[in-house]
Amino acid sequence: MLAPAGPLLGRFHKGPDMFYREICDTNCAIFGLPAPYVPDMRVHDLTDNAIRFADPELFYRQDLWIIGSGVSLHAQTTLQSATGDWVRITLIKRRADNGGIDGETSTFALDGQYRGWLQRLDRERETLTLDNGTVLTRAELRLVHAALHGIPDKVTAATRQVSVSDLQRNLRHLRAKLEHPGCDCRSLAGCVNWHGLTRFIMDNADWFDSNPTLRFFPGRHA
C-alpha cells in the first residue's frame, strides 16, 4: 500500500546495455520487483515481465531515441501499480553520462481520492455504476467532462463528429439519467455535484485511458 499523503519521489538508472542498474525501493513496489534492487538481478524491459504495467517495447524505443538524440522525456499517466494501488505517475527520462538512461518519478496515490469512484470503474465494460444503479458509459463520462469544463457545444460536437442538436440531445438524456430523489437541480452540473462526481469527472478527461501524455525537450531538461 502506497502512502496517500503527498507524492513519493523515486529514481532508476539503465546502463548503455539497457539493463536496469538501479531501481529505488519506491519504484520496486510500483513495478512489482523485490527490494532492494541490485544490478545482478538483470531486469530488462524486453526480456523480463517483472515490470507488469509497462509497455516494454514502447519503453525500449523511447530510451533508444533519448540515448541517440539527447532529448529529455516528460510523461504522466494514471495506472494501477503492481501493488494494486491506483497512482498518478510523472516520469522524467534523460540520457545519462555513461550513455544509459537516468529516470526520476513522482508518484501520487489516488486510492484515497475521489470518494472511491476510481475503484468502482468497470474497466472491462468501460462503465461507472452510481449508488442508485445508474450506469454511465465511458463516452458519457467524457461528455460530462467537456460540459463541466465549459467547452462550447460546437467544439465538442465537432470533436465527436456529431451535430450540435444531437450533442444537446445527449446532454439532456444525461441530465435525465442523473436525476435523483427530490431533484431540483437547474443544470447537469448540479446533478453531477449531488452524486459527488464533480471533482472525479473534472480531473481527468478519460479515466479509462492509461496512455501517457508525452512531452519532449532538448538536452537535459529538468
Q: How many domains does the chain have?
A: 2
Which residues are CB-neighbours of 75 under 8 A, at least 6 positions away? Answer: 90, 91, 93, 212, 213, 214, 215
Interval 167-188 mean pLDDT? 93
Q: Which of 62, 87, 112 is the last residue of a domain?
A: 112
Q: Which of 112, 132, 150 is a domain's end point?
A: 112
Query: Are residue 96 and residue 127 in the same domain, yes or no?
Result: no
- Does residue 129 sit in the same domain as residue 49? no
- What is the pTM for the complete model shown? 0.76
CA angle 91, 18, 35 (to 5 degrees): 65
33 and 70 both lie in a single domain: yes
CA 16 to chain CA centroid, Å, is 29
Tens digit of each residue's pLDDT (9 = 90 or more) over 192-218: 999 999 999 999 999 998 788 888 888
CA distance 128 to 174: 13
Among 9, 101, 6, smallest CA distance to 60 is for 101
- Parent domain of 100: 8-112
Tell me: do 169 and 153 sit in the same domain. yes
Asked if 139 and 119 sit in the same domain, the reply is yes
Co-location of 121 and 102 in the same domain = no
The three cell numbers locating residue 121: 470503474
Are residues 102 and 120 part of one domain?
A: no
Q: Which of 186-198 are b and which e, b meaning 16 or more Cβ less than 10 Å from the residue's Cβ?
A: eebbebbebbebe
CATH number of the domain within which 83 lies: 3.30.450.20
pLDDT in tens, 19-63: 999 999 988 888 788 899 999 999 888 776 655 556 778 888 889
